[in-house]
A and B are shown apart, each in its own frame.
Chain A
Amino acid sequence: MVMEIVCPAGTPAALRAAVKAGAHTVYCGFNDETNARNFPGLNFDRSEMRAGIAFAHAHGAKVLVAINTFPRAGEQTLWHRAIADAHHAGADAVILADAGLLAHAARMHPDLRLHLSVQAAAANADIINYYAEVFGVKRVVLPRVLSVPEIAAINAETGVETEVFVFGGLCVMAEGRCSLSSYATGLSPNMNGVCSPASHVDYHDDGGVLDARLGGYTIHRTAKNAPAPYPTLCKGCFSAGEKTGHLFEDPVSLNAEALIPQLLKAGVTALKIEGRQRSKSYVAQVVGNFRAAVDALAEGRPMPKGMLTRLSEGQAMTTGAYRKTWR
C-alpha cells in the first residue's frame, strides 16, 4: 500500500502545483476565519474552491477542506455555511475540530466524510473511537505530541485512519489547547485562525542587537546582521530559574522523512505536510520528495535520503516527539 501524501495549498496555484507534483490529496480552506491559516492573501473564495476541487478530481487527486477553528458564539452560521459550501463544491472530506460543528455536520451532511483536525488534540484510542462512534469520523490527524510507539498503539486499537504531520511547522503544545498567542496579542489559533500573528510583530534595534518582539514581548534577540527567526511564541528565548534559552522548544521545524518506514509499520494511513502559507514552488518540491519516498517504500526500493534539509530556510530540523526523546 502506498502511503497517502496530504499536501497544503494556500492558493489555487499551489493546489495545481501540488497535484501536478504528485500529491494524492490536497487540503485547503476558505478565505475567512473558519480555517486555522487565516492569513491575508491566502486561501480560497467559493468559486476558486469549486474550480480547485474540479481540477484535483480531473487529475485523480482528492481535496480536503479545513474548517478547523472553533466557531464564535452567536456566529456559528459562518462555519455552518462553510461546511455546506465545501460539501456542495465536491470536497472529499472536511477537517473539523469543534465538537458542536462535528455534531452539526453529522446531522446536516450525513454523507460528507469527516476528518478530525489536529486542533481537536485527540491523543488516545478511547477518544478517537468515541469521535468515530458519535460523529462517524473516518480519519484523525494526530497531535504532534505522540511518539511512534504511541501512534502504533493507537492504530492497534482503532479502525479510524490516522494521518500524521511529517514536515513543516511544529507545535510543542497540544494543538487547539493553547492560548499563549491570545494572551500576548489578543488573537489565537482557536478563535482567529492565527498564532503569533505578523500584525503584532515588530523589530526593535537596541544598540547593536535586534529584538524580535510579539505583542511587545521580546521573543528573540540576535546580533544586528544575523538572521532573525520569526518570533513564534513557544520557540522564543526566555529565562527561568538559572537558565536562559529556548525553554519550550528550539526554533526548529519538523522533518520526519527518515521515520516514514516506521510510520508505515505503525499503521499510519496518510502523511501530512504543514504549510498552507508556503509558496507553490516550496509545496511542489516537498510533495515531489515525499511522493518519491512513499513510492520507493511501496516498491521495496531504498528511500532517497536527506532530500529536504535545504527547504527548511536555515532552520534546524527535528523529528519532534516521534522519537521518544521528549519522554
Chain B
Amino acid sequence: MELTIGPNQFFWSAEKWSAFYQDLASAPVERVVLGELICSKRLPFFQDRIPDAVTMLLEAGKEVALTSLALVTLKRERKQTAALAEMGLCIEVNDLSVLPHLPKGAPFWVGPLINVYNEGTLAWLAGLGATRVCLPPELPLASVATLARAAADLGVAIEVWGHGRLPLAISGRCYHARLHNRSKDNCQFACEDDPDGLEVRTINHQPFMAMNGVQTLSDSYACTDHQIELLAEAGVSALRLSPQSQGFLTICQAYRDRLDGRLPEGGIAAAARDLAPEVRLSDGFLTGESGVAWSGSAPAKTTV
C-alpha cells in the first residue's frame, strides 16, 4: 500500500505551514493533498505559499492535489471553489460544489468528506472522472472491501483514513469563536492557538472530541496499525495520514516501515505513544463496536 498525506485540518502560522511541507518533501510518502479544507478565512494567511510548496513536492517526486473547502456556502467561498478548478492542478473534491466547476472529463480525486458509501455513488463519481477516492472514515471494513472490489473494475484507487484525529462533523457555526463569545465573522482566529484542535471533555473529565473552528474531530487518533494486512487484502491501495503538529515525520516513517515489513504489528502504536504518551488511539470504525474502540495489542477481530 501507498501513503497519502491529507490536507492539514488545523490553522498553523504561515512559517510553520511552509516548514511542514518542506519536511514532507523528504518523507517516504507517495502523494500529498494540500490547501485549506476547513475555513475560508484561514486561506489568505498562507495562500501565496501554496505554489512554491506544490513545486517543491512535485520536484521531490510526489503526486500533488489541492483540496476544496469542506463546506461551501458564502459567495466568497463559491468564487474560491470555482477558481480552484481553474488552477490546472489535480483537485481533491471535499464538497460536491466543486463538481460543476471541473473541466469536463478531467481526472479528480475524492476526499473523505464526500459521502461515498456504496457502489452506485462510486460508479457515478468514476463516470465523472474520479480516479482516487478516500472513503468516509465511518465505513466498516466489510464496506471498504466491497467498495475496493467495485473500484478495481472502475479503475479507481481506494484510500482509507489511516492515521490522525477523525473528522466527525462540519458546521456553519464556529465553535472556537463560540467558546470565546465571538461571532464567526469576528472570530479573531481563536483556532490558531490549538494546532491539533482543542480537547473537548465530558463533564466528568473523559476526553471525547476536539474542536477545530467549524469542524469537530475525535479526541482519539485513528490508527490502522492492526488493520494493515486486512486493508491490503481488501484491495485498498493507500492509507491516508492526517497532518499533526508534532512528530509527523516519525508517524510517516512508522507506517512506511510497517508496510515494508521492517516494523511488526503494534510498532506504529508504540511509535505514536513514544511521541505522546497520553495519546488515545482508535480503530473502531473499521473493526470495532463504535468509532472510538481500539483493538489494542489484541489481534484484529474481523476478517474480510
Contact = CB atoms under 8 A, between A and B. Distances in A.
Instruction: Check if A and B associate.
Output: yes
A238 B115 contact: no
Interface stretch (A158-166, A184-192, A270-278): A184-192
Given A73-B143, A217-B208, A244-B203, A321 B117 contact: no
Interface in A58-90: 70-74, 76
Given A98-B121, A179-B169, A184 B292 contact: yes
How many interface residues does chain B have, given as a range?
Answer: 35 or more
Contacts of A215: 290, 292
Given A74-B142, A101-B120, A247-B179, A239 B170 contact: no
Given A73-B143, A100-B124, A248-B216, A173 B97 contact: no
Contacts of A239: 200-203, 205
B171 interface: yes
Interface in A173-215: 173-174, 176-180, 182-186, 188, 190-191, 211, 215
Interface residues of A, number: 67
A94 interface: no
Nearest to A248: B175
B9 to A, nearest CB: 14
B170 A191 contact: no
Contacts of B74: 150
A183 B199 CA distance: 16
A104 B200 contact: no
Contact of A221 (B97, B138, B203): B203
Contacts of A321: 172-173
A237 interface: yes
Contacts of B175: 247-248
Nearest to A145: B172
A180 to B, nearest CB: 5
Most A Cβ at <10 Å: residue of B96, B169, B200: B169
Given A72-B143, A238-B203, A145 B119 contact: no
B100 interface: yes
B120 A240 contact: no
A153 to B, nearest CB: 8
A130 B138 contact: no
A291 B200 CA distance: 42
B118 interface: yes
A325 B185 CA distance: 10
A98 B118 contact: yes
Contact of A247 (B115, B178, B289): B178
11 contacts: A70-B118, A73-B147, A74-B142, A100-B123, A123-B73, A126-B100, A127-B97, A146-B172, A190-B136, A238-B203, A247-B175
Interface of B: 70-75, 77-78, 81-82, 95-97, 99-101, 113, 115, 117-125, 136-139, 142-143, 146-147, 150, 166, 168-173, 175, 178-179, 183-185, 198-206, 208-209, 211, 216, 218, 284-285, 288-292
Given A123-B97, A326-B183, 6 more contacts: A98-B118, A104-B120, A191-B117, A211-B204, A244-B203, A247-B175
